[in-house]
A and B are shown apart, each in its own frame.
Chain A
Amino acid sequence: MELTTDRSEGTAVLRVQGRLTMAAAGELKAAVDREVADGRTLVVVDLSGTAFLDSSGLGALVGGLRSARAAGGDLRIAGVGQQVRTVLELTTMDRVLRPYATVEEAVGAGR
């Protein structure tokens, strides 16, 4: 997995390129925590380059959501592909982590 970050006032966009799996989950969770700690409490995880998500990856996303919420912000996901959507629906996690079509939409959805 490759992680790139775009930062603006109060918002961070984390782009996950590759597979979001057990091997990568820790890194993503740490990145979210870092952004939140730095005051960018709206974190958007761009999954448009993510072909595969497993339970550990999902755990990292929810863990990130928890950090963001605790800081008064939010974690949103955008651009999910087929496999990721299936995992979210299967675990009914799409009700907690609502997939936005694009990063812009996710950022614009208000706070």
Chain B
Amino acid sequence: MRQQLVLRVVVVLTLVLGVNYIAWRWLDSVNWSAWWIAVPLVIAETYSLIDVALFGMTMWKARRRDDPPAPAPGLTVDVFVTTYNEPVELVMRTAEAARDISYPHRTWVLDDGSRPDLAAAARAAGVGYIERSEDWTDRPRHAKAGNLNNALFQTDGEFLLILDADQIPEPEILDRVLGHFDDPAVALVQTPQFFTNVTSADPLGSQAPLFYGPIQQGKDGWNAAFFCGSNAVLRRDALMQLGLVGYVRETERSVREALHASRRLLDRAQRDAPDAVQAAVLHEVQEAAARALGSLDAGEPLSDVTYGFQREVDAISAQVVARDVASIQEDLAAIAALPIARDDEIGAVVVDEPALARLADREWSPLGAIESVQALVRAVDVDRGSEAQAVMPVATLSVTEDMATAMRLHSLGWKTVYHHESLAHGLAPEDLGTMMTQRLRWAQGTMQVMLKENPLGVRGLTVGQRLMYFATMWSYLSGFAALVYLAAPIIFLCFGVLPVTAWTVDFFARFIPFFLASQLLFVVAARGVKTWRGQQYALALFPVWIKAVWTAVANVWFGRPLGFAVTPKVRPDGTPSQWRLVWPQLLAMVLLVVAAVIGIVRASLGLSLWVGTTVNLLWVGYDLVVLSVVVQALRYRGFTGPEASPPSSARRRGIA
């Protein structure tokens, strides 16, 4: 409690000093004559202040939970081990550990690779094996989210423990966390991810002690603990509700889109219609579509609207047939009246009701000849025929299914829990290329969610929850700020261009207190966990963050595939291709060193003042120390030491 008070004081202090500094920067110290660097710098600094504010807000209500009660006996649990292409031995090591979890449960290997040898191994070990059903053939597979959704419909446990193929669970994992579900509003319990193949120096920054600790506890305080895809238990009911709500929403969206698009398509079809009769028919269909859209806007149930629309189209079709038949009968009568006698039975032709109905039905309808109408009729329906399953409980809108799933759970009013105890241990990537690809995907997934379902606008979230999701998304924009922070000192040292009006007492008196306060906030919030590596990578991976943002924008707004910017294939033994992965960082380091030398020479020659030069040299030094992590990562040859074990604080509660 006292610790929390101290933290809040530091948060307030940091924000007051931060606003004091940034306000002065904007109002009084932007060097407008060099606006091209001065404005980006002050924007980057403002970005950072907002980032610190969001971090402060996250920490404000940090929640360290007490142990939950022991779970009631008799709950039904399915344990899912998800795999795509991991080695069979690795998957089976996890599957066997999952099988040996002490609380009664059933274990399933969810094999997206449909490998017969894994199926055999699973059978031999006495665990279930699930592969994709036939419904998924030729339909979007939705990666891991699809794999989970497929399994959800082949199992029936009340709770699901989800484990990545390499996340070996402790036998007591279910006993420790199921008690949280005594609260019927809890949909998810997330436990930390801890990696055993990582040295204490952690050159690739694999452990995320700040995230699986203070940050998750902070988010938990706002009822916004994140789902991280593995080492989490979910309530099936909640997921199913999500799937049903999502189904309705998704269907309504696609029906709406089809009706909207039909307006333009039918306009064009009317212009191109071969005759006035057809144009008139198209016009009628268009009006029916407009009425359907109106009913949707008026909040009428989707099923009624789509059914009504289909009926209207059927009626139009019947009219066309009736008109055709009438003209046929008129022709026949005219033929019968001709003076030339024939041996056929023209007088006897009667087209009866069933025949009329048959001519008008969906299969034979004259409207079927008009492609735009046919496509519209297919789209304005509720069967979601383009997907393998109409109901998709695990969100499929992003390459990272977890964040979107949790956000939607929150928007429906469910609670999530962060359980701070390491109960499953996994393997982290052991080379720079794999690590960077993984980070890129996380960042891309987060940006996709931000662009497609911005948490600030999602209905049903509390203000705190909105900001907790937004904070994570905001942090991935740091690549652009990093670029400015690297460029500004280089530009000053080489060319003497000042982004601020002067390096004066005014500047130091405002900047230094803010800087120190935010560092202090970090230290207090971290409560002793190692955060330096994370801080380094937050800046040093700036090219990854930038790439993630622009690929996500290109994907969401311009429909380009995310993978068009994949990390080049890397040989994990550290050969030159690894260097190519981090060329922007290496180039930045070279430029920083060159700029430092030039800056010293310029100051010695009296071309610039020593104050400014010293400030910028310190700045360069900081940048270099941060960026140096990529050199360490490049020299890393994979893990050889003894397996790491989680810090005692995380292994058992007691950190409080």
Complex contact B364–A22 (CB within 8 A): no
Complex contact A55–B320 (CB within 8 A): yes
Contact with A along B344-380 (1 / 0, CB 8 A): 1110111100010011100011111110000000000
Q: Complex formed: what's the CA distance from A88 to B201 in Å?
A: 83
Partner of A93 from the list B342, B349, B358 (CB cut-off 8 Å) is B349
Complex contact A90–B358 (CB within 8 A): yes
Q: Complex formed: what's the CA distance from A70 to B325 in Å?
A: 20
Contact with B along A62-76 (1 / 0, CB 8 A): 110110011010000
Partner of A69 from the list B275, B320, B338 (CB cut-off 8 Å) is B338
* Known A-B contacts A87-B364, A96-B349; A62 and B332 likewise in contact (beta carbons under 8 Å): yes
Does A19 reach chain B (CB closer than 8 Å)?
yes
Q: Complex formed: what's the CA distance from A26 to B328 in Å?
A: 14
Q: Complex formed: what's the CA distance from A90 to B350 in Å?
A: 10
* Known A-B contacts A21-B369, A23-B369, A70-B338; A96 and B332 likewise in contact (beta carbons under 8 Å): yes
Q: Complex formed: what's the CA distance from A36 to B278 in Å?
A: 25
Does A2 reach chain B (CB closer than 8 Å)?
no
A residues near B325, Cβ cutoff 8 Å? 55, 59, 91
Who on chain B is nearest to A23 by CB? B369
Complex contact B369–A55 (CB within 8 A): no
Interface residues of B in 634-656 (CB under 8 A from A): none
Interface residues of B in 364-401 (CB under 8 A from A): 364-370
Complex contact B350–A23 (CB within 8 A): no
Complex contact A72–B359 (CB within 8 A): no
- Which secondary structure dominates chain A's binding surface? helix
Does A58 reach chain B (CB closer than 8 Å)?
yes
Partner of A26 from the list B275, B335, B368 (CB cut-off 8 Å) is B275
Complex contact A90–B338 (CB within 8 A): no
Does A7 reach chain B (CB closer than 8 Å)?
no
Does B298 reach chain A (CB closer than 8 Å)?
no
Classify chain B's interface size: 35 or more
Complex contact A91–B355 (CB within 8 A): yes
Min CB distance B271 to A, Å, is 14
Q: Complex formed: what's the CA distance from A59 to B369 in Å?
A: 15
Partner of B324 from the list A26, A55, A70, A72 (CB cut-off 8 Å) is A55
Q: Complex formed: what's the CA distance from A24 to B274 in Å?
A: 8
* Known A-B contacts A55-B321, A69-B338, A70-B334; A21 and B368 likewise in contact (beta carbons under 8 Å): yes
Q: Complex formed: what's the CA distance from A38 to B59 in Å?
A: 91
A residues near B324, Cβ cutoff 8 Å? 55-56, 58-59
Complex contact A96–B364 (CB within 8 A): no
Min CB distance B405 to A, Å, is 46
Min CB distance B412 to A, Å, is 47
Complex contact A62–B359 (CB within 8 A): no
Chain B residues at the A interface, C-beta cutoff of 8 Å: 274-275, 278, 281, 320-321, 324-325, 327-328, 331-332, 334-335, 338, 340, 342, 344-346, 348-351, 355, 358-360, 364-370
The 9 closest A-B pairs by CB, nearest first: A21-B369, A55-B324, A22-B366, A66-B331, A59-B324, A23-B369, A22-B369, A55-B321, A62-B328
Given contacts A56-B324, A59-B331, 5 further A-B contacts (CB under 8 A): A22-B278, A23-B370, A54-B366, A56-B320, A70-B335
